[in-house]
């Protein structure tokens, strides 16, 4: 929200290319640490890296996915209603599928830990009181966020937003798309609303660039430390 004007979903769809909007939504989930939505991050990272394998190294990809999947499992184990093998097993199989012959020590240790937490309520209580805050708390989340930001930044560079000249050229080579593009005029109020608040949009753009510069600086500092 800027001043008395709020950016509505239809405004965002007009302003922001779909892939960038999706990436921004993914980052919001990671930034807010919305663990129950980490499965969406998992799905997104899995899909993109399966299609573009060199976007992340195998080690980076494995580390990012493990952190996302582990937090979902630990959230399930924390809740009495979901701390059972029926709820947790499908998520463990995302980490180590049946018949998996990999030798990743971190994955094996985590699966073994989860199995102990499910079997022993006393150990589970001790784990969430004493171990979880230090080993799976803020630093664990920050590590995940650093990897997620790097992933989204590389994806951004892979799919740059075309300028006006490039967009015209693409439409010229795909005239069937033109008709769909003109559909925005079928509901001119959305466009009119955006134009009426162009000053707010300028402020949003300036603020966004400033936020990203600060974000980059903080992440570079984290890598150095």
User: How is residue 192 written in tokens?
Assistant: 């009119």
Lowest-confidence segment of 17-21, 99-103, 110-114, 203-207 by average pLDDT: 203-207
Residue 52: which of 151, 144, 145, 148 has the closest Cα? 151
108 vs 220 pLDDT, higher one: 108
Instruction: Report, in this order, helix, strand and coil percent for the chain, each rounded to 5.
Output: 80, 0, 20
Residue 96 has pLDDT above 60, yes or no: yes
- Residue 171 above 70 pLDDT? yes
> CA-CA distance, 69 to 72, in Å (whole number)?
5
What is the per-residue pLDDT across 29-41, written as a single tens digit (0 to 9) for each? 999 999 989 999 9
Q: Tell me the C-alpha distance between 210 and 217, whole Å.
A: 11
Q: What is the pLDDT of residues 182-200, one digit of tens each?
A: 887 787 887 777 677 666 6
pLDDT tens sequence across 103-136: 688 999 999 999 999 999 999 999 999 999 999 9
pTM listed for this prediction: 0.78
**Residue 210: pLDDT above 50?**
no
Q: What is the pLDDT of residue 159?
A: 86
Average pLDDT over residues 168-175: 85
DSSP result, 30-49: HHHT-GGGHHHHHHHHHHHH
Q: Write phi, then psi, for 101 (nearest 5 degrees).
A: -105, 10
Split at pLDDT 50, 70, 90, the class of 214 is very low
Cβ atoms of 19 and 159 closer than 8 Å: yes
Q: Which residue has the tokens 């650093």?
A: 146
Q: What 3-state class would DSSP assign to 101?
A: coil
Exposure string (b/e) for 184-201, b if CB count within 10 Å is 16 or more?
Answer: eeeeeebeeebeebeebb
| pLDDT value for 1 | 47
Distance CA 169, CA 183 (A): 19
pLDDT at site 14? 73
- For residues 74 and 79, give the distance between their C-alpha atoms in angstroms, rounded to a whole number: 9
């Amino acid at each position: 929200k800027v001043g008395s004007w709020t950016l509505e979903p239809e405004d965002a769809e007009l302003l922001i290319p779909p892939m960038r909007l999706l990436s921004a939504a993914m980052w919001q989930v990671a930034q807010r640490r919305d663990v129950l939505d980490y499965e969406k991050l998992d799905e997104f990272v899995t899909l993109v890296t399966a299609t573009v394998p060199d976007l992340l190294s195998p080690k980076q990809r494995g580390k990012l996915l493990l952190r996302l999947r582990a937090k979902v499992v630990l959230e399930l184990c924390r809740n009495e209603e979901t701390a059972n093998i029926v709820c947790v097993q499908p998520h463990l199989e995302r980490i180590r599928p049946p018949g998996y012959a990999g030798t990743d020590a971190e994955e094996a240790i985590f699966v073994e830990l989860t199995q102990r937490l499910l079997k022993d309520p006393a150990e589970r209580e001790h784990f969430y009181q004493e171990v979880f805050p230090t080993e799976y708390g803020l630093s664990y989340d920050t590590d995940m966020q650093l990897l997620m930001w790097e992933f989204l930044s590389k994806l951004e560079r892979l799919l740059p937003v075309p300028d006006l000249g490039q967009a015209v050229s693409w439409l010229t080579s795909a005239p069937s798309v033109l008709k769909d593009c003109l559909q925005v005029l079928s509901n001119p109020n959305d466009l009119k609303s955006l134009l009426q608040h162009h000053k707010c949009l300028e402020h949003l753009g300036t603020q966004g660039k400033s936020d990203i510069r600060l974000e980059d600086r903080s992440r570079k500092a984290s890598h150095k430390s």
